[in-house]
Amino acid sequence: MRGSPITDADGSLDGMDNGSFAHVLSVADSGDPGASQPGAAAPGRRTTLIWRVLPIAGPALALVLGLVALGRRPLDAGEAAAVAAANGAFGDVVQRALEDDPARAGYLALLQPFTGQGASEAWARLPSALAAVAAAALMYRVGRTLAGRLAGLAAALMLAGSAGVAEVSRSARPLTLAIAAMLLSAALFIRAVEDGRVGWWVGYAVTAALLPLTHPIAAAALVAEMAALMAAHDRVRLRNAVPVAGFVMVETTLFLTAAILDRAAAEDGAGRLELTDVAAGIARSCGWSPVVAALAIWGVVVLASGRVRGSAPWQAVLVAGLVAGPPVAVLVAGIALPVYPAEALVAGAAGISLAAGIGLAAIPGRRLRLVAAGAALVGAVVALGVVGTGAQEEDWRSAAAHVRADSGAQETVVVLPAWAGSALTHYAPSVGVTRVGRGEGVWVVVLGDPESATATARSVVSPPRYALQSQQPFGTRLVVQHWVRP
């Protein structure tokens, strides 16, 4: 059933030499590692080792990519704001988050123990890296359950090797936690549908209820699961499933309502929804790889058409919902709320990587599978290289050092927008930040488009009282200006 192989057109599996990568692609979805095909030699120690390594290949890759240069870059404004919010006693942090920022409560609860280790960038980002490892492990489980071990392996590696996921796994942001929560919820949902016992439905209810506490976009997984539940209504015990679905929907609605009210008043620089940002977000969720996007489409098609042995229509609905849910959620939310689609849509990598793994495993023929896997690998390496060597946007460490060293006792410091002030005080806690420029001179630190930095600064320094003396960039989106009295 779930672990059955995807066969070639003639119904047979490819026979391959044990020492080749092609053998891995064949063995990975051949069912029992101890079973051999007619006329084939019994599997040796290498094959047994392959079976043991498969579940950890994706998590291992995620760990490596997450830890590479983890603390090299200084925190950006969003990361510093998260670190500042996570400072304090655990209970106080969680209480403040639930009252002021419920959409980040789960992430801040995870981050809080790490902020006690000091101001290190690596410690602040470590929870995201660990969440990416957990997500890859869960992806293998979900992919294997739906379409066999090859699908699980391919999906886990695509998620772990996605440039978009690797990028957020090295940042102090909640998106990898959201991806892991979405996959944990999906794994328990699948088990609850197939097993039917109350215990699995209770476990699913708990994880699904926590989804909006990791990131609002994670709730898109709940919509996919409810659609799949309706498609599977004829095979589930409704007396167990319906109360759970009702509880989860009510609880999620309440939390999302609180998050929406909080988001509507947000002053973090998010503007109105732009379709170009949505397109960029979808590209990031695919790891900037058209091969992964094509494989994801193919994966949904083969599931929906029943070409994956042992699959059911509700599984196709679930995977399609995980793929389409995040973009649809962003488009709907963006109508009335300020959103960051280019960043938030990375969470869509959960569904896209799952569908792409299933699609790769469903390609008929060993050679064609190898070609597709090679193309996906090349695309991932190129995207990871481009992302890893990209220009730094915000160097708050250097900006803070510059302001601390050169500002005088009779001068004031202003950060625009005001919410980004925690980034400056993180690296220069002795520097006092004000909202309006006063004194003999004003240092204005502007986050945003450098072309409009002067116009932005004029809101806190009033010419002709002050004149711009110098301006220095610290990254592509951060400028430090020094205004003095003429």
> Both 113 and 146 in a single domain?
yes
3-class DSSP assignment, residue 82: helix
Residue 12 within any structural domain of the chain = no
> Both 379 and 441 in a single domain?
no
Beta strands at 467-473 and 433-434: parallel, antiparallel or unpaired: unpaired
Q: Which two tokens stand for residue 92?
A: 């106080």
Distance, in Å, from the CA atom of 138 to the CA atom of 351, rounded to the nearest integer, reads 12
The tens digit of pLDDT for each residue in 143-179 reads 999 999 999 999 999 999 999 999 999 999 999 999 9
Q: Which two tokens stand for residue 68?
A: 């590479």
Average pLDDT, stretch 280-293? 93
Domain count within the chain: 2
pLDDT at 232 over 50: yes
Q: What is the pLDDT of residue 6?
A: 44
Tokens 């997984």 locate to: 221
> Both 98 and 139 in a single domain?
yes
Of 138, 97, 99, 107, the closest CA to residue 211 belongs to 107
Indicate the Cα dihedral angle 233, 235, 239, 242, nearest 10°.
-30
Average pLDDT, stretch 58-74? 92
User: Bigger pLDDT: 16 or 473?
Assistant: 473
Q: What is the pLDDT of residue 144?
A: 94
pLDDT band at residue 202 under the 50/70/90 scheme: very high
Residue 464 within any structural domain of the chain = yes
- Asked if residues 42 and 36 have their Cβ atoms less than 8 Å apart, the reply is yes
User: Which of 33-47, 276-290, 311-325, 460-474 bottoms out in mean pLDDT, i.e. has the lowest?
Assistant: 33-47
> Both 92 and 139 in a single domain?
yes
Residue 46 within any structural domain of the chain = yes
What is the C-alpha radius of gyration for the chain, rounded to an integer number of angstroms?
25
> Both 231 and 335 in a single domain?
yes
> Both 82 and 174 in a single domain?
yes
Residue 14 within any structural domain of the chain = no
Average pLDDT, stretch 186-199? 93
Residue 245 within any structural domain of the chain = yes
> Both 383 and 419 in a single domain?
no
Q: Which two tokens stand for residue 334?
A: 């963006």
| Residue 340 burial class via C-beta count within 10 angstroms: exposed 0-12, middle 13-18, buried 19 and up | middle
CB proximity list for 237: less than 8 A, separation 6 or greater: 196
- Asked if residues 286 and 292 have their Cβ atoms less than 8 Å apart, the reply is yes
The secondary element (H helix, E strand) that includes residue 421 is: helix 421-427
Residue 97 within any structural domain of the chain = yes
Residue 102 within any structural domain of the chain = yes
Residue 331 within any structural domain of the chain = yes
Q: Read off the DSSP letter of residue 346.
A: G
Residue ending a domain, choose from 388, 422, 441: 388
> Both 354 and 443 in a single domain?
no
- Residues spanned by the domain of 315: 21-388
CB proximity list for 173: less than 8 A, separation 6 or greater: 78, 79, 82, 107, 128, 343
Residue ending a domain, choose from 335, 366, 388: 388
Q: What is the pLDDT of residue 308?
A: 87
> Both 428 and 357 in a single domain?
no
The tens digit of pLDDT for each residue in 429-486 reads 989 999 888 889 999 999 999 999 999 999 899 878 899 999 999 999 999 999 998 8
User: Bigger pLDDT: 211 or 275?
Assistant: 211
User: Bigger pLDDT: 278 or 324?
Assistant: 324
Q: What is the pLDDT of residue 24?
A: 53
> Both 303 and 433 in a single domain?
no
Task: Please report, as a single letter, which amino acid is at residue 77.
Answer: A
Residue ending a domain, choose from 350, 371, 388: 388
> Both 47 and 139 in a single domain?
yes
Q: Which two tokens stand for residue 184?
A: 């944990």
Q: What is the pLDDT of residue 39?
A: 44
Other CB atoms within a 10 A radius of the CB of residue 191 amount to 18
The secondary element (H helix, E strand) that includes residue 414 is: strand 411-416
Q: What is the pLDDT of residue 25?
A: 52
Distances (CA, A) of 300 to 238, 318, 367: 26, 10, 22
> Both 115 and 134 in a single domain?
yes
The tens digit of pLDDT for each residue in 369-399 reads 999 999 999 999 999 999 888 888 999 999 9
